[in-house]
Structure 1
């Protein structure tokens, strides 16, 4: 649970770093923001997989940030790089913030409370 919280806090801080980088023009925040967002995305990727398959969790934790980065790179062709990075950072920061506020609540779905029998 603590690793998930660390990943979410990293996502908020990294996203804010990229937003500040764009708004204030502080180019020095690019790499720290990228590292923090990478940690957040790796944690989110690992959270997508059952904890019983450690090797798969590791694989998804490594691949999920690469997938997100490839989408951001495609979007770089449509607008200014710093603006695209700021938008991606804001989306990741908001997603992590919402996840932190929601806490450990179970998802509300038709199968949320059911068990495989």
Structure 2
């Protein structure tokens, strides 16, 4: 354990800059403790009903901030997952029957991305 910590970056250090990590604060530490104690994740309402309701509340608050009425949203586990979900939403909007008929015998779909996309 000691070597693991010794060779890991100190993400709480003021000079550590990353888009996905930052220093800990009291609410985030409490969240980590609750997550560890409950031994679950926010996968389904059945496994974590309170967390699901909290997520819906937070999405509602964010929609209010930007002025979206009757909006929807989803919290994702990261940017790659968010991009994949966005692509599926775009597909389902473009091909309304894709979820029922699947993509067999459909026109091929194309997406334009930057060369640095992952």
Task: Please give the TM-score of this superposition, normalised by the length of structure 1.
Answer: 0.25
Q: Which has the higher contact order (CA 8 A, sep 6+)?
A: 1
Structure whose CA Rg is larger: 2
* Structure holding more helix per residue: 1
Task: Please give the TM-score of this superposition, normalised by the length of structure 2.
Answer: 0.25
